[in-house]
Amino acid sequence: MIYPLKTKTPEPHIIVIFGASGDLTKRKLIPAIYQLFINNHLPENFAILGTSRTKLSDDEFRGRITEFLPATDEPNSEFLNKIYYQSIDYDVNEEYIRLKDRLSDLNIKLNIPANYLFYLSTPPNLYDLIPERLAIANLHLQTDGFKRLIIEKPFGNSLNSAKSLNVSLLKNYEENQIYRIDHYLGKESVQNLMVTRFANGIYEPVWNRNFISRVEITSAESLGVEGRGGYYDHSGAMRDMVQNHLLQMVGLVAMEPPVVIEANAIRHEVMKVFQSLQPIKPEDIGKQVIRGQYTASTIKGVATAGYREEPGVDPASHTETYVAMKFFIDNWRWAGVPFFIRTGKKLPTRVTEIVIEFKPTPHHLFAQGGLDQNTSNQLIIRIQPDEGLLLKFNMKEPGAGFKVNQVNMDFHYSDLANVKLPAAYERLLLDCLMGDATLYSRGDTAEAAWNFIQPILDAWTNDPSIPIYGYPAGTWGPYESDNLIEGDMTWRYPCKNLSDDGLYCEL
């Protein structure tokens, strides 16, 4: 089976995971590193040092993570023997000296140079503290090997906090040492978006305002807050999804061709898109941005609680679980083309996709032949699930006359039977170990995204006249979001399977 990742392996290294007793480490990070290991993408000499406040021995930590590895008759002892653990009090400077000593011991014992990847799988309030304390222990210096930080989202919870965090990090680290991870950018279909655009002569010439009528991006979740009500009630869909995942996808859809496929060139083009986002005027926020919150409902005969009934959620909460918005990009390529994005919890299905809708032909030759003039050609790029591409175009029905219907032409990654798609964290971890920041956010782009979003959040806080609409759990959100799209056009209602079309789909 072909495994489409880089053929080179990183230098020998130690991955230090802060927050190693947490859920992300067990569900995503350790399984991702394990897959890289068994597929021979890691050097012979590497180690994982987990660290958190919990008191554990090496063997106890290994025992805890074994259950999150693929079920086999025998756990891979070679992999488990590369895992170590050390407890730490994040607030105490001396603890980082002790960490440095442990790393030095492992360097000598395992014949590994001082190449360290520090992964902050911790609450956001530690994103500035841990790097600062590492620097006090001189664990940021690259005189004897690389030192890199991976920081999980959210990168700040406002424009000011994002700026503050950037200032704090850049006091001790170079920008090329900081990797702000967005797991959406690690998905194969997101990366293939650039290839679709820039490697195909049938798409790039028409990828502009002259031929595209609108762009639509949907990221829907069928689950609710799933026990994370206390966290989510201070976050909401705008901070949790729009500011990072969805705007990053907008950047890749809308960017100009980079000079080379290289981290700085690509991220520079994404930054130019963010700088071109047309600010939404305060008086238009209520019309261009729709927020909603799911209410109690019955899904497949099962009673489902509303958001305000979830554990940890304020019974009078105004936190949005759904956002739909319309905006424009003020540049030569996209002037006048509306971009529509939406995301929400407790929607009918879990799906993320990009819809490029092309303008209809200028002369409606076949209007009498049954062609709905509102039916335009579409290119759908499916990010998850059922990853692939779907092209919708018009064809004549067999028989007399010119009765026209829309048909589908699709490609599914699953059709590549001999290719295993790497999980997002596998790809991103390996990229960081190789020093490739292409799929990571840069500090200035994070601030630019916040600069666009912050006025909306401020308006929601300060203007009580802006409503938050209820929508029954299991539906496609507030019907008011349909008003964002002018005329008879509507959102695309995707299904689990890419080429299934319908008004309402369930998993």
H/E segment holding residue 388: strand 388-396
Phi, psi of 222 (to 5 degrees): -85, -20
Active-site annotation, residues: 245
- The residues with which 178 forms a beta bridge, in sequence order, are 149
Nearest to 180 by CA among 147, 150, 148: 150
Copy the structure tokens of residue 452. 């666009």
- CA count, 13 A, side-chain hemisphere, 300: 7
Copy the structure tokens of residue 221. 């979740």
Copy the structure tokens of residue 212. 């595209």
CA of 102: how far to CAs of 16, 54, 78, 109, 110, in Å? 11, 17, 21, 10, 12
Residue with tokens 């290991």: 37
Asked if the bond preceding 360 is cis, omega within 30° of 0, the reply is: no
Nearest to 483 by CA among 472, 467, 494: 467
Label residue 10 left, alpha or beta by phi (over 0 means left) and psi (-120 to 50 means alpha).
beta
User: What is the rounded end-to-end Cα distance, in angstroms, of the chain?
Assistant: 29
Residue with tokens 């980079």: 258
Own/partner long-range contacts of 267-274 (Cβ < 8 Å, ≥24 apart): 267/437, 267/438, 267/441, 267/442, 267/445, 270/445, 271/442, 271/444, 271/445, 271/448, 272/331, 273/329, 273/331, 274/247, 274/445, 274/448, 274/449, 274/451, 274/452
- Structural contact between residues 119 and 150, judged by C-beta atoms closer than 8 angstroms: yes
- CA count, 13 A, side-chain hemisphere, 446: 27
- Structural contact between residues 361 and 377, judged by C-beta atoms closer than 8 angstroms: no
Nearest to 404 by CA among 394, 390, 389: 394
Copy the structure tokens of residue 57. 């021995």
How many C-beta neighbours within 10 Å does residue 164 have? 13
Residue with tokens 């912050």: 454
Determine the 3-state secondary structure of 264 from DSSP. Answer: helix
How many Å apart are CA 247 and CA 270, to the nearest integer?
10
If you write DSSP's letter for every residue of 416-434 in order, what string do you get? -TTBPPPPHHHHHHHHHHT
